[in-house]
A and B are shown apart, each in its own frame.
Chain A
């Protein structure tokens, strides 16, 4: 099973992408899309990347909802900062955040979430120290910021990837 379908999730996702691009769910498109997706997953297997294991698929939806809400909030917050312009003191700064998460896929997801959210950017990760350097546009309380990220995202990611 694992040799024929080395990456089942990737195969399904690519097939869905094919159908979305074709704007059709006809049998021909499903078969063709599946063939393309299957070949791509075989190529992927030859590259032998780290294979992430998603333990709790239900939590992925929760994470997605959480991230969406946070991105809306930070869009508003960053717009305010920009529009206030020079009238407001800037409080941008760097934070070093220790992480318990070590799974490469989990770290990749966390880095994308933090960078895609306006107002925070992931700069560099150190596997030796297991910590990350983050730049925050509106930094008021270092410790509170770190705790918020850890409780909102890291706890969930630790349960999803392990």
Chain B
């Protein structure tokens, strides 16, 4: 039950996981700002919700397990819920954007499926 006595190898592993996860999430955030169209932007948060999240959650799990002296795996549940719910949000946002662009008659967006294509 002591978080000060984490062995060196575990400390290195934990730090590496946090850094990799944080770096991926940061790159995703930069991409979100830099991407030019809405459809390119929806790809960017997935960096943070896939391996960005795994990095941070893995570190949390290892640190808590070391500190408590038994396996702590709440993080598995967090990861499952994040990876199941994020795609739903992204799909809804993308479909709203698609609908708006079609109503506006934007030439960059393909016509609705099931209707005759004009391309």
Contacts and interface: CB of A to CB of B under 8 A. Distances in A.
A20 B77 contact: yes
User: Size range of the interface on A?
Assistant: 35 or more
B50 interface: yes
Secondary structure at chain B's binding surface: helix, strand, loop or mixed?
helix
Interface residues of B, number: 39
A21 B81 CA distance: 13
Contacts of B14: none
A90 B36 contact: yes
A111 B39 contact: no
Given A111-B91, A112-B83, A112-B87, A90 B76 contact: no
Contacts of A135: 39, 42-43, 94
B114 A115 contact: no
A72 interface: yes
B98 interface: yes
Interface of A: 17, 20-21, 23, 71-72, 75, 78-79, 81-83, 85, 90, 92, 94, 96, 111-112, 115-126, 128-129, 131-133, 135, 137
30 contacts: A20-B73, A23-B70, A23-B74, A72-B51, A75-B51, A81-B31, A82-B27, A82-B31, A82-B47, A83-B27, A90-B40, A92-B37, A92-B39, A92-B40, A94-B110, A111-B87, A112-B83, A116-B87, A118-B28, A118-B43, A120-B43, A121-B39, A122-B87, A124-B98, A125-B113, A126-B113, A128-B114, A133-B98, A133-B110, A137-B40
